[in-house]
Chain A
Amino acid sequence: MTMDVLTMGTGFFSFGTFLLIHLIAFRRMAPEHLLRSLLTCVIAMMGLPILLMGIFYIFKLVDAALQAWVCAASLALVIQGLLCFVYVLCVFGPYETSVRMRLVREIAQEGSKGISLQDLLGRYNSETIVNVRLQRLLGSGDIVEKDGRYRVGHNRNFFFVFDVIAGVLKKWINK
């Protein structure tokens, strides 16, 4: 087995383990615990590729220098991190939070007879959107509530970081 295949395999295996834990532990998890638990799970699983590579190094699964093992562990970590990022933002995120996906499901429930706008808004509306999101954001600590007023909990959350990066990208694209 080459170091390249071992690195890739470790990255994918670690992600597979994350996915398995995620599928078991996140079933029926309340929305308010979702963001924080997801972040904790991703960070906790980051240690797995390093641990696996350490074990492989001890058992000398591949004959390579120490620097190659260090690089392999780092790259396996990068692959696992990227896979987690892509899964959370492109698969789980849209399922859990996308307005479009929810609309598709609401329309699908009515089958071929369809649904009127009034009925659709009766089931899913701005009120629902705000309720679910406030629950999630309060649970993650991104916002805090005191006497019925909401404030930002911490300014270094993912939404703001993503907004800054997207802002820079937008400037470059629209120049």
Chain B
Amino acid sequence: MGYVLFSLLLFCVSVMTHILFCRVTAKSGLQAKAFILITFVFLGVYAFGVWAIQQAGVLPLQSLWGLPFKITAGIIFFLLAPVYLCFYVLTQLTSPSKKILLTISQRGELSRADILASVQEEDFIMTRLNDLCASGCVTQINGRYTLTSEGQKIAAILNFMQFTLGRNVGG
């Protein structure tokens, strides 16, 4: 279990490094790519650490701490990265469901019209559409929105997902 503890420790350090980076960087917006880079650096540190622990022989195989879960611990570290990213994205984005729940929670009880007004106030569609234009997935020409090649790739993935999941269009 020593390897698991080591990987968890490194994950915490990578999260702290990312938080520190977000606090000092002048760039606005999501810093997800920075976290992905930090994660890969620390995965490298983990791999080196595992090799060093083995060479030093500090964890006896017979003890609980020496149980050789090296790959498992590495995978746990790797899977924790998207979990952190989910929470990190939530610090900057509000989903419509969260908005509805928080509004109802704050005001006690609401009618459907009140809920609709709160969602309209947030203007989810225009903010998302502008984001899609800014990220280069959608372009607006003569007042009409079309997909760029990047957007078409996303649409193809969504079509594949619809085929696989067998579900109606989401949203």
Residues of A within 8 A of B (CB): 2-5, 7-8, 11, 23, 26-29, 67-68, 71-72, 75, 78-79, 82-83, 85-86, 89-92, 95-105, 107-108, 110, 112-117, 120-121, 124-130, 132-134, 136-137, 142-143, 148-152, 155, 157, 159-160, 162-163, 165-167, 169-170, 172-175
Contacts and interface: CB of A to CB of B under 8 A. Distances in A.
Secondary structure class of chain B's binding surface, majority of residues: helix
Given A68-B67, A71-B67, A169-B88, A150 B115 contact: yes
B72 A8 contact: yes
Contact of A114 (B90, B144, B169, B171): B144
B147 A126 contact: no
Contacts of A165: 87, 90
Contacts, number: 229
Contacts of A28: 166-168
A71 B69 contact: yes
Contacts of A107: 138, 145-147, 151, 155
Interface residues of B, number: 70
B104 A86 contact: no
A10 B102 CA distance: 39
A133 to B, nearest CB: 5
Contacts of B125: 99, 103, 120-121, 124-126, 129
Nearest to B88: A169
A129 B119 contact: yes
